[in-house]
Amino acid sequence: MGLLDKHLGYRAPLDGIRAAGADPSSVRFDAVLSPTEGMLNGQKVILLGTNNYLGLTFDPACIEASAAAVRQWGTGTTGSRFANGTFAGHTALETSLAKFYGRKHAMVFTTGYQANLGGISGLVGRGDHLILDADSHASIYDAAKLSGAEVIRFRHNDPEDLAKRLRRMGDAAKGSLIVVEGIYSMIGDVAPLKEMVAVKKEAGAYLLVDEAHSMGVLGEKGRGLAEAAGVEADVDFIVGTFSKSLGAVGGFLVSDEDNFDLLRIVSRPYMFTASLPPAVIASTLTALERLETDKDLRVRLAANADRLYDGLRDMGYAVGPHASPITAVVMPDQATAVMMWNALLANGVYLNLAIPPATPENKSLLRSSVSAAHTPEQIDAVLDIFERLGLEYGLLQRPRRASA
């Protein structure tokens, strides 16, 4: 009898995946050659499962800023923001984020996960109500637990169900906090934010949008879904991350809410952890400037997203409801998903194997994410491999040309 016996329910599925020759949890890159190529088991692979949406991880200006900061400030802050962990860069980044979003306040956290954990648990607590989309990211569910607030879930992306649940709450709906995501991380679908804002206003609730996957992706200025949907004025809080379009690690919360500064002393995931190393802050600041000034990155990203999504859909694969930098191909079952993931890897394509319980509706998915840095030729090469393997494994009925 061991302490981990309680998790033995996961033993058989994990062993089954390993027996099939695939173990996504032990994928180890021996080298990363660029935002779109890496070396895995001695083989060059196209990276189609990172969240490197703008391809900035190897941006020369970001690398230079980071290298200069590590020389000037050292490798780490060795302390929490509240103690010795606030350097000039941390506040400069907060000022830049507040300006970028046109908000009064911004707070930087050590990860995006902690931004949700610390932001949400600082905003609501015991006696408050937290209204969550059923497909919310784990960081939002964990924030709910940490907060102690009462959680009410509504059907994924369903404003009518949200309205129904708020009506049922009566007076408690006023002042409750609704949390949704800009782009959902598994399927790549977008929240119907305009409709949700109308419901939120009617109920007198607050709204937080997690723009982790939509910052730098959606909106004329790249601020995310709230900007794209034209509802920024009615979104009370925005959470985001530096680990995706900005190519680093870290997270943030921005808002116009009064007494925002109190969050810095009540948010435990902000207070009781070391702050981001100066090198990370420096590359993030530079990447944010690039995001603001280089609209071409978003144009290229959108073109790549359309190319991959349209290609997979036209072949006959089951994909999400619309094109997005995240495209999930729904597999008929877990065994097929594992087999295809393996075969794609053997053919030089790395993407994410996403299986229950981490997926919506317990689907088995091959989740891909494109970058502005992918070339159209790379996307076409991926599509050719998907077609060949789909035909080989009976997932597709006929080749593209025959169906055209």
Is 185 known to be catalytic? yes
Q: Is 21 helix (H, G, I), strand (E, B) or coil?
A: coil
Q: Where does this chain bind ligand PMP (CB under 6 A)?
A: 111-113, 116, 137, 139, 181, 185, 210, 212-213, 241, 243, 251
Output 184 or 386, the one with its CB closest to ligand PMP.
Answer: 184
CA distance 140 to 116: 6
What is the helix (H) or strand (E) element at residue 96, kind and residue range? helix 88-101
Q: How far is the CB of 183 from ligand PMP (least distance, A)?
A: 8
What is the helix (H) or strand (E) element at residue 282, kind and residue range? helix 278-293
Output 51 or 96, the one with its CB closest to ligand PMP.
Answer: 51
Q: How far is the CB of 210 from ligand PMP (least distance, A)?
A: 5
CA distance 126 to 119: 15
Q: What is the DSSP letter of 319?
A: -
Q: How far is the CB of 252 from ligand PMP (least distance, A)?
A: 10
Output 238 or 315, the one with its CB closest to ligand PMP.
Answer: 238
* CB-based contact 251:109 (threshold 8 Å): yes
- Residue number of the CB closest to ligand PMP reads 112
Output 109 or 317, the one with its CB closest to ligand PMP.
Answer: 109
Output 322 or 388, the one with its CB closest to ligand PMP.
Answer: 322
- Taking Cα atoms as reference points, which of 253, 273, 259 lies closest to residue 106? 253
Q: How far is the CB of 384 from ligand PMP (least distance, A)?
A: 29
CA distance 301 to 215: 12
Q: How far is the CB of 404 from ligand PMP (least distance, A)?
A: 36
CA angle 302, 303, 304 (to 5 degrees): 90
Beta 364-369 vs 352-354: how paired, if at all?
A: antiparallel
- Taking Cα atoms as reference points, which of 1, 38, 9, 23 lies closest to residue 378? 38
The residue annotated as part of the active site, out of 105, 129, 213, 363, is: 213
Q: How far is the CB of 389 from ligand PMP (least distance, A)?
A: 27
- Taking Cα atoms as reference points, which of 157, 185, 116, 135 lies closest to residue 352? 185
Amino acid at 389: L
The residue annotated as part of the active site, out of 185, 267, 275, 364, is: 185
CA distance 218 to 102: 16
Output 119 or 311, the one with its CB closest to ligand PMP.
Answer: 119
Give the sign of the dihedral formed by CA 83, CA 84, CA 86, CA 88: positive
Q: Where are the alpha helices (DSSP H) in 188-246?
A: 193-203, 225-228
The residue annotated as part of the active site, out of 105, 137, 244, 363, is: 244
Is 363 known to be catalytic? no
Q: Catalogue the active-site residues.
A: 185, 213, 244
